[in-house]
Each structure stands twice: as C-alpha cells, then as structure tokens.
Structure 1
C-alpha cells in the first residue's frame, strides 16, 4: 500500500474529524479511508486514533505522527514546487544578519547569485559583529563564525574558517620572529575583542593555563587589526578570509606555522520552526554548497 497515500488519508481524518468527511475531501469511500488507517496503524504497530460512534480523536502517538506527517507533506510539496519554477513561488523579504568583515568581503557574490535565481525575493542584510538574537529581533537567518555552542536554533555549516597568525616583515625585523607559542609572550598581541580567550583559540592543551599574551591594542573589527599588523603594530590572529590577500601580497607573513589554530566554521543559524518558510529553505539550500570545502579565499594558501 502506498505510504504517501495513507499519510495523506490520516491527515485528512485528523483535519476533518471523521472518516466520512475525510472520504468526501479525498473523493474516496469511507471504507477505503478506514482500510488505509488500519493499514497505517498495523504498519506502525501503534494506535493513532480513538474511534467512537460520535467522533474520532487523536492519541498521543497519533498527534506526534500528525505533526511529522504535516512536515513530510510540506517538504514534498516544496520539492515539487522547486521542479516547477520555484523561483516564482519564493517571495517576500528575507532578513539576514552577518559579520561585518565577512559580509563586506565575501557575501555580495552569494547574494547577487541568489537573487538571480529568486528575483521575487527582497533581501534585508544587517552587518554586525555583535551577537544577534534572531528570534527576538525577527531575523530569518544569521551567519555566524566560530565553534557554536548547543542551542535551540538550527545551525548548518557552509564553509570552514581557517585562522592565521601573522605580523608585518617590519615588525618581525624589529622584534624577532617567534618560534614557539611561549615566544609570543614577549610580543604585543593585537586582540579581537569578540573572540574566545587567546589561550583557547590557539588550541594547545598543554599551554592553555600558561599562555597569557600581552596586548596594548584591542578592537572589535578584524580588518582594522589586519591593517594595524600591516603597519607594524604587533602580531595578529585573524581568519584567512580577512588576511588572505595581505598574506599573498607579502604585506604580512605567517608565523608559527606548526601551531596553526584549529579551524572554525561559517554557519547559517535559523530558528527551529516546525514549518520552515520557503524563502529560508531556499537560502539554506542555495548557500549550503556555495563556498565549497575549500573556499576561494584559501585556494592561494
């Protein structure tokens, strides 16, 4: 027996409140509705409906199955729509929050290509390095960089984020090149104010309690820290999507290559909604493979 047909029949019975009304809605006989429901319960080995002469009510298991069935049917309909010119069906305003530097440097291409595929969708992009409560502020999707903690939100990784430790040739000429992490303690570290503690970012377990870096410069923007390093202000640690071009041009050079920090990730974060809006689903599907396993900013590394 076709599972999808039995699921649709079950949904109709719950929504209409009776076998006969469900039969009318589906244009089949009440006997066939009853047969489908019995077959479904036999297959699941679970009673989904309480039947009396007056009404049909849903069991606890039936309610759970009903919720999941709804999502399955919606997913199938969304998939079918995507094969029938989905671009005409995705519309409205999609609000996106993203980190300042990443958004400025690398997000425009993705968004332009996305709107080419979904021209009826308007984008509202908000760039900030501050933590954004997407539920409270009514944002559809947030792009976040880091190692995400457990949350009620859904997070999907879309790109690896590598970190580089670097300084300008002039700085290293004047102050020497560190050979170990402990050598960093005699240098000025240019610290990003939104980052985890420095000793954790380096990810060297045996030095976590010992490594304390001195810093006379703290900023909340990675581009500014890169430019400060280029100007000879100290040693910085920033993602390669920020520092990659300067590294390739020799404006700064990598140091401590044997101690490269563990990579982080670029994630799409969105609310754990039971029924995901088509505009959010479209963006999640589109962005998932956009940057690839090795993003273009790392190809020259």
Structure 2
C-alpha cells in the first residue's frame, strides 16, 4: 500500500476529527479511510488514534507522527514545485487565517494582486478573531495582531498597528471631552470582548487598583463598536485600520492621545521549517513590503 496515501489519509483524519469527514474531503469511502489508517498503524506497530463513537483523537505517538507527516508532505510538495519556474510552479492551495475586520477591510486588494502574479495558486481564506493553531489545523500562514510571544513558529512583522481612543463629535459635545483617565471613567466605554485594551492605556498602572470603565455594550467585533461610537453611543478604542477612514472623514474624533498604548504589529506567522514551501515563500515575499512602514490607513489623518 502506498505510504504517502496512508500518510495523507491519516493527516486528513486528524485535521477533520473523524473518518467520515476525512472521507468526504478525500472523496473516498469511510471504509477505505479506516483501511488506510489501520494499515499505517500495523506497519508502524503503533496505535496512532484513539477511536470512540463520538470523536477521534491522536495518541502521544500519533501526535508526534502527525507533526512529522505535515513536514514530510510539505517537503514533497516543495521538491515538486522547485523543479519548475517559480511563477509557474506556485500552485495548489494556500490556506490563510486572518482577523475578521482586517481581512474584510484590507486583504482583498493584496490577494487580487498576489493571484495576478501567481495565477495557478488558489487561496483558502479563513477569517476569525479566535486563536488558530496553524500546525494542528493545517494552515499555511496566519496573520496575527498583537505583541507576539516566543514560539517555535516564524513571525514576520508586516505593518505597525496603532490603537486610537475616539468618540463622535455629537457625543463629545453632549458629554464633554475627557482629558484624563480619571475623567474617562465618567463616560460610557464601548468594550471589545476579545481583549481588555484599557489595561494597556499609558498611565493606567499608576492609578489606583479600582480604576474601572463602565460599559453598556460589549461586542466581539471592532466595526460594530466603531459604528456605535459614530452613532454617539460612547467612547471606544480600536485599531486605526478599523477607525482610520472615519477619523479622516471627521465622523469621530481622536482623544486622549497621550494615553494611547504602544503600537502593536501585524505579523505573518508560519511554521519553522528548513525548506519553506514555494507557495508560502511567494506569499511571504509578496506581502512583506506591501503595507509599508506607514500603512495607507494611517495616512488620512
């Protein structure tokens, strides 16, 4: 039995979490999927998967084998691609994960220009604000925003990300413009659910521990919070890639600039491998200088 086929089948079972979903993905029968995985375990004399009626999970040996399979299969793809001219051989599917608002607002032009240069490459884009384990989920590249911790992955910064505190002119006219963090506590703060950026405001740590911002709205989407601020609902803090256009148009006003957090970064994150697949290398090279040191969303203010 072809070892590569059994390896690819095993990887699909792990990524999909079941034999039936892997069968659908590979367009083969569940029975054949089970046969391939059983043959693989028999040949290795090792159990790779825990099987229950509800789910499939890897054993310790299976987890290690899964990681190595991804590397081997990726290396094979890279070897095959490297035999041809780069612009012609960059083919297959490149899977990308990116934050929701950033992807909707700023990724489409980049992706269109990238595919013009590499027309044989298909893109599979997944937008989510949740943390994605790119190795476990088989993602080639993830775009992440923040101050990244050390890991076994490669992280390449492609743009600075600034946070701005803002409100609509109408809100500030009615409620006043806070000039200190103490005054900010007297206002309604529109809070982002996936993080607590107020802890990063310059000067918060010097205030008493009871520093607290009252919020009548908590949401997991920055665009909604921006639109709520534009409508006069309160004060928000969001990245300028979300708020930049509204700031430039005067729909909102930037306040408390001396208390804004230190800039974060937009990073490309990908697996640390000796031989990077050509499709990943092409995207990394193309994207590295795309937004520049001062991104276009920060030029309109």
* Offset at residue 134 of structure 1 (A): 1.0
Q: Deviation string for 1:246-290 (max 9, x for gaps)?
A: 111111101112222211110001112232111111111110100
Q: What pairs up with 1:136-215 in 2 under 5 angstroms?
A: 136-202=136-202, 204-207=204-207, 209=209, 211-215=211-215
**Structure 1 CA distance for aligned equivalents of residues 195 and 186 of structure 2:** 21
* Offset at residue 200 of structure 1 (A): 2.1
Partner in structure 1 of residue 14 of structure 2: none
| Secondary structure in 2 matching 1:105 | helix
Q: What pairs up with 1:250-261 in 2 under 5 angstroms?
A: 250-261=250-261
| Secondary structure in 2 matching 1:179 | coil
**Structure 1 CA distance for aligned equivalents of residues 203 and 267 of structure 2:** 20
| Secondary structure in 2 matching 1:131 | coil
Q: Deviation string for 1:1-51 (max 9, x for gaps)?
A: xxxxxxxxxxxxxxxxxxxxxxxxxxxxxxxxxxxxxxxxxxxxxxxxxxx
* Offset at residue 149 of structure 1 (A): 1.6
Normalising by structure 2, we get a TM-score of 0.70
| Secondary structure in 2 matching 1:215 | strand
| Secondary structure in 2 matching 1:97 | strand
Task: Tell me which moved more, 209-218 or 195-204.
Answer: 195-204
Contact kept in structure 1, 2:98 and 2:126, CA below 8 Å: yes
Change (3 A) 1:195 1:277: same
Normalising by structure 1, we get a TM-score of 0.70
Larger Rg: 1
| Secondary structure in 1 matching 2:194 | coil
**Structure 2 CA distance for aligned equivalents of residues 216 and 93 of structure 1:** 43
Partner in structure 2 of residue 239 of structure 1: 239
Structure 2 regions of 5+ residues with no counterpart?
1-74
Structure 1 regions of 5+ residues with no counterpart?
1-73
Change (3 A) 1:248 1:161: same
Partner in structure 2 of residue 15 of structure 1: none
* Offset at residue 201 of structure 1 (A): 4.5
Change (3 A) 1:159 1:270: same
| Secondary structure in 2 matching 1:237 | strand
Contact kept in structure 1, 2:200 and 2:261, CA below 8 Å: no
* Offset at residue 150 of structure 1 (A): 1.9
Q: Deviation string for 1:187-222 (max 9, x for gaps)?
A: 111111112452224465423845321112110100
Partner in structure 2 of residue 98 of structure 1: 98
Contact kept in structure 1, 2:163 and 2:238, CA below 8 Å: yes
Change (3 A) 1:112 1:179: same
- May I ask how many residue pairs the two structures share in their alignment? 223
Change (3 A) 1:197 1:166: closer
**Structure 2 CA distance for aligned equivalents of residues 160 and 209 of structure 1:** 30
| Secondary structure in 2 matching 1:103 | helix
Contact kept in structure 1, 2:201 and 2:260, CA below 8 Å: no
**Structure 1 CA distance for aligned equivalents of residues 190 and 244 of structure 2:** 17
* Offset at residue 100 of structure 1 (A): 0.7
